[in-house]
Structure 1
Amino acid sequence: MVIMNQFMNIPTTSISDATSGLNNLDSTIKPLKETYKISGRAFTVKIPVGENLAVLRAIRNAGIGDILVIDAKGDTYRAIAGDFIVGMAKTLGLGGIVVDGVIRDILGIKQLDFPVFCKGTTVAASSKHDQGEINVPISCGGTTIYPGDIVVGDVDGVVVIPQNKIDEVFRKSLAKVNADQERSESILGDPDKVRRYLDNLV
């Protein structure tokens, strides 16, 4: 739990660098508000296109702070949830929703101030006929995600950290943050240092 909270202070860009860019979700999956930041364990959902019954089951079964990660097959016609469903997720203490798909009732969801990362919005609702699956390995945004993996998201996008690499990725990403800060402080603001730095590169 401590490390998950600490990931909240690390940019996804640094985490991506620490994982060699291998676990980034598709760049079209973005937060509804630029200020949203998430870090928590993935509670995975796999649904057929146009269905969302499994999303409701997941909200009921997920734990406090869990991030609902939904494989909606990239569908952008039917929404996996609207403001009422997202409101239930917030009420039960979930940490956020990430979906390879779209939502609707965007103004209502923004008013909830609950972090949702998605491909956009639509007007069409989903059906509730197929059960789908929860807490199974999925592919979301082109990345394999297992239940319990760490999901971190911010304005730049979403990154997944495999459970067996959490400590390693945390150390590497923190080192990247520190190295970037030291570089900026030592070079930026001084034209001569910038020129020398560029000369060494080009």
Structure 2
Amino acid sequence: MRWCFGKETIMKQDMIAPLATTDLYDEYGDKLRVCDVQMTNFGGHKAFAGKITTIHCHLDSGLVKATLNTPGRGRVLVVDGEGDLHTALCGDLIAGAAVKNGWTGVVINGAIRDSATIRGLALGIKALGTTPRKSTKDSTGETDVELNFGGIAWRPGDILHADMDGIVLLPEE
């Protein structure tokens, strides 16, 4: 089954058109998972959508860099940095790689850096905040695992819609 909203079909090949999170909630209610963490928009795209890929890492952006340097095919990378704002898990170079490789967005339960440059990129980015500190790049952590933050489970393959009002997840169908 494809998720439909009115006459629009959300999925179109690999790309997913972003729809308003408020409209999706009005249509689907509690079938959606709504992130309770209030994240800031940093990227050039204020609304974005896509199937999610997940990473759990702490103070180490090696897996983030490696993943965003692979073909994104319209996906959104969700990174659980355990809410730590001590070091950034994404900066302008990593975000630039995401754009170059066809990623639609990045959601980070943690910090980013180079926010002024990132605001000009054709990419959706939501994060808790910023810091000038860079992280290690030892590639410690896990990929494609279920994450839990913001009061919800984030599962690889779920469909994410994000805009200025928040982030919602539709289960993969």
2:13 equivalent to 1:3: no
2:121 equivalent to 1:112: yes
TM-score, with structure 1 as normaliser: 0.72
* Comparing 83-92 and 12-21, the one that deviates more: 12-21
CA distance in 1, matches of 2:43, 2:139: 31
Q: Once superposed, which parts of structure 1, at least 4 consecutive aligned residues long, lie more than 4 Å away?
A: none
CA RMSD of aligned residues (A): 2.3
2:167 equivalent to 1:158: yes
The equivalent of 1:57 in structure 2 is 66
The equivalent of 1:31 in structure 2 is 41
CA distance in 1, matches of 2:134, 2:18: 35
Q: How does 1:33-112 map to 2 (within 5 A)?
A: 36-48=46-58, 50-61=59-70, 63-112=72-121
> Does structure 2 retain, via aligned residues, the 8 Å contact 1:62–1:94?
yes
Q: CA deviation at 1:73?
A: 0.7
Q: Deviations over 1:80-137 (max 9, x none)?
A: 0110110001100111101111101001111223210111211111112242111111
The equivalent of 2:29 in structure 1 is 19
Aligned length: 163
Q: Which has the higher helix share?
A: 1
Q: CA deviation at 1:162?
A: 0.9
Of the two, which has the highest radius of gyration?
Answer: 1
Q: CA deviation at 1:66?
A: 0.6
**Alignment identity in percent?**
31
> Does structure 2 retain, via aligned residues, the 8 Å contact 1:152–1:158?
yes
| Stretches of structure 2 lacking an aligned partner (at least 5 in a row) | 3-8
Distance verdict in 2 for CA 1:34–1:86, change over 3 Å: closer
